[in-house]
């Protein structure tokens, strides 16, 4: 079940999306807000929504600004009457861009894509390896997930740092993120995905790996990452 949230300063637009969510199997309404500042508290809370429908043109905070703040917590789908925002929307790594007035067919198309991506993520939790293309034509190299220390974005490539060596396949960091178990790996920066099995310590603004290598934690990813590892934090219940 995908939990959906709506942010739009026009209530009639909210109503349309509420009706679409209600009639679509596999979806439930997690909430809505006409004020983006109110929405930020909901989305970055204990139970963030899976999908957020986000209007671009809003007072106080624009949809683009909100997207930058909620990106680590939820999948963003922009909604707007202004098609010229489409390029900027995808630069913000939005999942989709729905022009208003939004038809149910176009809404359903977007949701179907997300549901397929969710199925891939469920499969990734059980995956132990994958293959990547090598520099040698026709050759594919097996990568054992348990051996990955961290992944680093490198323009058109990624650098996979492993206990057995490094490799640089022609992939984006977003593409490999889909293949890595979210229970074990975490995006801590626009350019870094870390395997928590190899984390030795977490300090303000950075992660220290078991090989003493330091990785910066991006400001947009900090809160989500700290919440994730908080579940493994052992704290005494005794009072000081």
Q: How confident is the model at residue 157 (pLDDT cuts 50, 70, 90)?
A: very high
CB contact set of 137 (below 8 Å; sequence gap of 6+): none
pTM strictly above 0.75: no
Find out whether 41 and 73 touch, Cβ atoms under 8 Å. Answer: no
The per-residue pLDDT for range 184-197, each reduced to its tens digit, is 999 999 999 999 99
Find out whether 50 and 2 touch, Cβ atoms under 8 Å. Answer: yes
- Three-state DSSP string of 53-86: EEECCCCCCCHHHHHHHHCCCCEEEEEECCHHHH
First to last CA, the chain: 43
CATH superfamily of 2-124: Response regulator (3.40.50.2300)
Q: How confident is the model at residue 201 (pLDDT cuts 50, 70, 90)?
A: very high
Residues of the chain with CATH 3.40.50.2300: 2-124
CATH superfamily of 129-230: LytTr DNA-binding domain (2.40.50.1020)
Q: Which residue has the higher pLDDT, 221 or 122?
A: 221
178: tokens are: 């889909």
Q: What is the pLDDT of residue 120?
A: 74
Find out whether the peptide bond into 101 is cis, omega within 30 degrees of 0: yes
Measure the CA–CA gap between 159 and 192, rounded to whole angstroms: 10
Q: What is the pLDDT of residue 87?
A: 53
Q: What is the pLDDT of residue 30?
A: 96
Q: Assign 106 to helix, strand or coil.
A: helix
Q: What is the pLDDT of residue 134?
A: 83
Is a pLDDT exceeding 70 seen at residue 206? Answer: yes
The per-residue pLDDT for range 61-77, each reduced to its tens digit, is 888 889 888 888 899 99
86-96 mean pLDDT = 63
Residues of the chain with CATH 2.40.50.1020: 129-230
């Amino acid at each position: 079940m995908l939990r959906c949230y709506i942010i739009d300063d026009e209530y009639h637009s909210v109503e349309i999306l509420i009706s679409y969510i209600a009639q679509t199997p596999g979806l439930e309404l997690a909430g809505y807000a006409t004020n983006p500042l109110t929405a930020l508290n909901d989305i970055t809370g204990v139970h963030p929504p899976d999908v957020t429908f986000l209007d671009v043109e809003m007072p106080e905070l624009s949809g683009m600004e909100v997207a930058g703040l909620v990106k680590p917590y939820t999948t963003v789908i922009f909604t707007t009457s202004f098609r010229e925002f489409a390029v900027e929307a995808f630069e913000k790594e939005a999942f989709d861009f729905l022009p208003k007035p939004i038809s149910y067919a176009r809404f359903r198309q977007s949701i179907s894509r997300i549901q397929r991506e969710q199925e891939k993520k469920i499969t990734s939790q059980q995956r132990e390896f994958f293959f990547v293309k090598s520099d040698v034509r026709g050759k594919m190299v097996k990568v054992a997930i348990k051996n990955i220390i961290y992944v680093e974005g490198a323009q058109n490539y990624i650098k996979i740092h492993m206990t057995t060596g490094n490799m640089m396949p022609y992939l984006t960091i977003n593409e490999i993120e889909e293949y890595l178990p979210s229970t074990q790996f975490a995006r801590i920066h626009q350019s870094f995905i870390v395997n928590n099995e190899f984390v030795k310590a977490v300090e303000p603004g950075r992660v220290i790996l078991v090989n003493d290598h330091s990785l910066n934690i991006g400001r947009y990813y900090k809160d989500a990452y700290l919440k994730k590892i908080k579940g493994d934090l052992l704290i005494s219940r005794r009072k000081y």
